[in-house]
C-alpha cells in the first residue's frame, strides 16, 4: 500500500519539469489524503488553449505544475485587461472555490504548453478542511499572487500608456531573461491588450523606447538587455 502511494505521488510530480515546481508540488501533495490522490488527474493543455473563462461555473481547481499561463479579465464591450502571468508552480480557481463564488472571475489562457493537476471543487475543499499544512501552503500562494496583482494595479491605475508598457516590458525581462538578455516575440495586439491601450500607442511607445535605448528592435522581435531593463524600471518608477 505504501509503495502504491509512493508511485502515485511520483506520477503526479513527474509532470513538473523545473526543480522549484517539483519541490512545491511534492511538498503540498504529501498532505493530501490517499483517497483524494486517487481522484487527481494530470491535465495537459497546448499553448494558446483556454483553461477557464470568466463566467464559467467554478467547479474545479488546478495546480499548475509546468508551463506559464496568462490571467485576464474580459470587460464589457470586449475589452480585455491582462491581470498578469503565472508561471509554475501555482494554483488556479482556488479563490472562487474557497470563497463560494459560483463563477470564475478571470480567464486563463496557456502561454506555453502546460500541465496541471486537476481537483474537483468538493475534493479541494475537503482537502483544505482536513489538512492545515496544505491550507497554509495554498494560502501563501494566494497571498503572493494577490500581492503581485495589487502592485501591478497600482502602477497601471493612473499611468500613461508609455509607463504601462515600460512596466510590462520590465516584468517580461524579470520573467524571461536568459544570460542577461530577454528576447520577446510578442504581437503588438497582445501588448496593446495587456496595457489597455490601442496598437497605435504601442507602436509610438516602442519607437520612443528604441530611440532612448530602452529596448532593441530586430524585425518583429523586441530585445531587452540588463542595462535597458534598468532604464525601463527608472522610467515607470
In tens, the pLDDT along 113-127 reads 999 999 999 999 999
Q: Measured between alpha carbons, how far is 31 from 75 in angstroms, rounded to an integer?
A: 38
The yes/no answer on whether domain 159-236 falls in CATH 2.40.320.10 is no
Write the CB contacts of 64 (distance below 8 Å, at least 6 apart in sequence): 86, 87, 88, 89, 90, 91, 92, 114, 115, 116
Planar angle of CA 38, 42, 47, nearest 5 degrees: 170
Say what the pLDDT of residue 79 is.
Answer: 52
Cα separation of 122 and 145, whole Å? Answer: 23
Low-confidence residues in the chain, pLDDT < 70: 1-9, 74-82, 148-158, 237
Cell of 189: 495586439
Q: Domain residue spans in the chain?
A: 2-156, 159-236
Look up residue 161 and give its three cell numbers: 500608456
CATH classification of 2-156 is 2.60.120.10, yes or no? yes
What is the reported pTM? 0.65
- pLDDT at 194 (0 to 100): 81
Amino acid at each position: 500500500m505504501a509503495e502504491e502511494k509512493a508511485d502515485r505521488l511520483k506520477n503526479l510530480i513527474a509532470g513538473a519539469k523545473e526543480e522549484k515546481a517539483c519541490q512545491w508540488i511534492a511538498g503540498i501533495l504529501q498532505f493530501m489524503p490517499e483517497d483524494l490522490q486517487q481522484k487527481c488527474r494530470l491535465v495537459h493543455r497546448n499553448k494558446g488553449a483556454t483553461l477557464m473563462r470568466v463566467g464559467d461555473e467554478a467547479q474545479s481547481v488546478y495546480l499548475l505544475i509546468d508551463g506559464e499561463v496568462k490571467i485576464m479579465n474580459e470587460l464589457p464591450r470586449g475589452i480585455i485587461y491582462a491581470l498578469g502571468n503565472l508561471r509554475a508552480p501555482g494554483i488556479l480557481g482556488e479563490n472562487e472555490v474557497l470563497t463560494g463564488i459560483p463563477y470564475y472571475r478571470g480567464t486563463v489562457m496557456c502561454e506555453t504548453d502546460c500541465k496541471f493537476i486537476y481537483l474537483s471543487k468538493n475534493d479541494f475543499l475537503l482537502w483544505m478542511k482536513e489538512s492545515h499544512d496544505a491550507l497554509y501552503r495554498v494560502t501563501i500562494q494566494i497571498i503572493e499572487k494577490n500581492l503581485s496583482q495589487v502592485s501591478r494595479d497600482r502602477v497601471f491605475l493612473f499611468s500613461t500608456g508609455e509607463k504601462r508598457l515600460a512596466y510590462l516590458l520590465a516584468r517580461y525581462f524579470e520573467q524571461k531573461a536568459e544570460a542577461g538578455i530577454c528576447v520577446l516575440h510578442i504581437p503588438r495586439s497582445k501588448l496593446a491588450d495587456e496595457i489597455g491601450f490601442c496598437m497605435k500607442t504601442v507602436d509610438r511607445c516602442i519607437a520612443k523606447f528604441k530611440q532612448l535605448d530602452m529596448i532593441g528592435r530586430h524585425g518583429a522581435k523586441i530585445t531587452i538587455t540588463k542595462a535597458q531593463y534598468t532604464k525601463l524600471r527608472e522610467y515607470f518608477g
